[in-house]
Structure formats: structure tokens, C-alpha cells
Amino acid sequence: MQDRELYQEILGLKSPWSVSQVALDLEQEQVDVFVEHPTGTKFCCPECSESLPCYDHTPERQWRHLDTCQLKTILHASIPRVHCPEHGVKQVQVPWAEKGSRFTILFERFAIQVLLKTQNVKGAMSILRTKWDQTWSIVERAVARGKARKEAKAMPRLGIDEKAFLKGQNYITLVYDLDNSTVEAISDGNDADSGIACLSQLSDVQIQSVEAIAMDMSGAYVKAAKQVIPLAENKIVHDRFHVMQMATKAVDKVRHGEHRQLMNDGDDRLSKTKYIWLTSFENLSEKQQTVFEATYDLQLQTGKAWAYKEMLRDLWSQTSAASATTYFNDWYRRVIHTKLKPMKTVARSIKERLPNVVSYCTHQITNAVAEGMNSKIMSIKRRVGGFRNRQNFKTAIFFYGGGLSLDPQ
């Protein structure tokens, strides 16, 4: 009798539901709690809430509940069905679990907390004593719930970026809300169609509210944005880190070419200097700075390319798009008259997209959120042991990075 009252309290059961039996299985370290309702109880149709007499019951079902006294706790009940004149025979909604779940609401809530805190599905499995499929079903249901609940909200600043799925091949495209640092949409691939598919998943409210879009300089996402976002041309901001990365790569190309030429003449002055040209001066160690200064003083092409790259950095500290344009044009004139082919290529591609580079000065956005999310995703991927399944990978991104309201009820 006392057991039954205790479990009634633990499970938070209210009328008409009560505990009819508690069975302890010490060998299995499990306690089975049987729940029932009095005969003659009326239940609501899940569609229209009309109060109806019980029609029949489903066979007995089980739900895993939070452990009690370190024992796996299993709730058993047959779910009543009603015969609604309008909706037919329907299974009623039980108060302790969501439809289709094998867990009680309290267990799911706890499991979601454990999964979020550990960021590690396997670790969560050992704490929760659940199997992979069971644990993953909680994740999937939480994401579906969160997406269904999501309210239409404005998203003035968004970012679109690619992410490799399975080493270097097989990309996915992600759209981020830059103000809330959340992933809003995911699609397969990284071409223009992928971009369109991804942006099209946004709600009308989101699409109409966009003021600025951060992206790299690849044509694919430019094309996609123009197709989906009204007046996108005026809203695109090419991510400054991507642009600087292009310039840094160009410096490396110059070094590579020059080094090869020098070595032909037995000149090894650029040997082992790759790293120092790729790093910002202030990030070099004291010893590296000495090497850098000595090499820079040699007046090699690589040093010149590096200096132009550093000059380009100041483009983003200009106070307006107009002054940034002036600054760039001056930089461009200097670079274009050099013999630094890779730098000239970068200069030309920036010039081509200049309004969408200097628009940074107006909107001040970057895709740094995407970079942050990347490392989060990488660590999840590592801890879960990789996501062979693409759908699971997307679900995990939404679970950990979607900013969704995941809890049941």
C-alpha cells in the first residue's frame, strides 16, 4: 500500500490515474509500476477534446521513468481509446508521456539535460542506461518538437556557409542567425542549388526581415541569395576572414614560386619561412619575429606580397563604405602594378565584388558564428564517433546548435 502511494507521488499521478501495483525485481535492478484508472472513467478525444466513455484499451505499454533508488523504473499501463462520433476510434493522451514515446516526460527532460551537458551521446547513454536507438529517438523527438514550436521571428542578420561532412568531400550548407548564434537551416551540397534549398527553408518572416547576409566570396551563395532574398545584392557582406584568407594564400603562392626560383640558384633564404608569412606579425614568437624582420629586409617578392596583405587588413577598419572604397582603390592601383601575380588575382576578385566587401563597414557582420559552430560540431562529431548518417548529423546540429526549445510540454 505504502509503495503504491509513494510511486503515485513520485510519478506525479493525478486522478483518474493511480498505481495499482509495484513489483520489485532486484536481479534486474528494476522496479515495475502498474498504473490504471477506475472503470467508467470518461476521457477526452485527442482531436476535439470531447469527453467520451472508454471504448477499449491498447495492449499494455511500458515507459521508462527516472530511476528510483538506483533502480530502472518502468511504468506499465494500457492506454484507453475513445470512439468519437466525429474522429473515430482514438487513443487518448496520457499525462505522463508524449504520444509515441517509450519514456515518461520527466525522463525525456532529464535525458535532454544530460545530452546537452555532456555533448556526448555515448557518455549520456552510460549515465542514462539507455541504448543508442533509444537515446537517439529522444534527440530526434526533441528536435522535431523544437522545430514545430518555433515562432516566426525576424532575422535581420544571417550568415550562409558550407561545412564538410566526412573528410573533405560531401558538403552541407548551413544558414545561421548571426544575432542569436543559431543554425536555422541545413541543406545538402555547397553549390547554388544547395544555397537556394537552404535559404528557402526560412520562414517568410525571416526572409522578409533580412538586412545583411554574411558569406564567402564563392559565386554559389551570391546566386542563391539573389534568388531567395529580396534586394540581396544590397545586403551581401563578404566575410572579411574569407577575403583575408585568400590574400594569405596568395602570399604563400608568391613565396612558393619565389623559393623555387631562388633554390635553382642555390639560394635558400626562404627555406623554412612558410609559417612566418602566414601568421600575423603580432602572433609570431620573439624569435620568429627576428627571423621575419631579417627576411623581410631582403626585399624579396614574398616580403612585398606580405606587406600588401597586411595593408589590406586595414580595409575593414575604415569608418564608412565610401572611405573603404577609396582605401581599396588606392591599394588596388599599387598591387596591380607589381609582378605579384597571385596578389593581383586576389585584387581583381575583390574589385569585382567590392560593394559587397566594403558593405562590412555598414553592417559589421562576419561569419565568425559559423566558425564557432564548426568547432562545436567537430567536437560533437568526435565524441559521438562521427555521423555516418547524414540525417543524424543534421539532427545533432539542430539539437546542439538550433537554439530550439527541446523539452517536452
| Cis preceding-peptide flag for 85 (omega within 30 of 0) | no
Distance, CA of 99 to chain centre = 27
Which of 13, 22, 33, 84 touches Zn ion (CB under 5 A)?
Answer: 84
Stretch that binds Zn ion, among 86-94, 238-246, 330-338, 362-370 (CB under 5 A): 86-94
Which of 1, 2, 69, 86 touches Zn ion (CB under 5 A)?
Answer: 86
Nearer to Zn ion, 12 or 88 (CB): 88
Residue 334, CB-side half-sphere exposure with 13 Å CA sphere: 12
Contacts of 235 (CB under 8 A, 6+ apart): 210, 211, 212, 213, 225, 229, 359
Cα separation, 241 vs 235, in Å, equals 18
Query: E strand or H helix at 248, and its extent?
Result: helix 240-264
- The least CB distance from residue 88 to Zn ion, in Å, is 8
Stretch that binds Zn ion, among 83-91, 95-103, 144-152, 333-341 (CB under 5 A): 83-91
* 87 contacts Zn ion (rule: CB under 5 A): yes
- The least CB distance from residue 43 to Zn ion, in Å, is 11
Say which amino acid occupies 318.
Answer: Q
SS3 299: coil
- The least CB distance from residue 97 to Zn ion, in Å, is 21
Which of 19, 33, 35, 45 touches Zn ion (CB under 5 A)?
Answer: 45
**Could you tell me the end-to-end alpha-carbon distance of the chain, in angstroms, rounded to an integer?**
31
Distance, CA of 33 to chain centre = 39
- The least CB distance from residue 93 to Zn ion, in Å, is 12
Stretch that binds Zn ion, among 47-55, 155-163, 178-186, 395-403 (CB under 5 A): 47-55
* 166 contacts Zn ion (rule: CB under 5 A): no
SS3 129: coil
Find out whether 131 and 121 touch, Cβ atoms under 8 Å: no
Q: Please, which of residues 15-44 interact with Zn ion by CB under 5 A? A: none
- The least CB distance from residue 40 to Zn ion, in Å, is 20
Question: What order do you get walking across the sheet with 88-91 strand by strand?
Answer: 42-44, 51-57, 80-84, 88-91
* 83 contacts Zn ion (rule: CB under 5 A): no
Nearer to Zn ion, 47 or 179 (CB): 47
Nearer to Zn ion, 86 or 133 (CB): 86
* Residues near Zn ion, by CB under 5 A: 45, 47-48, 84, 86-87
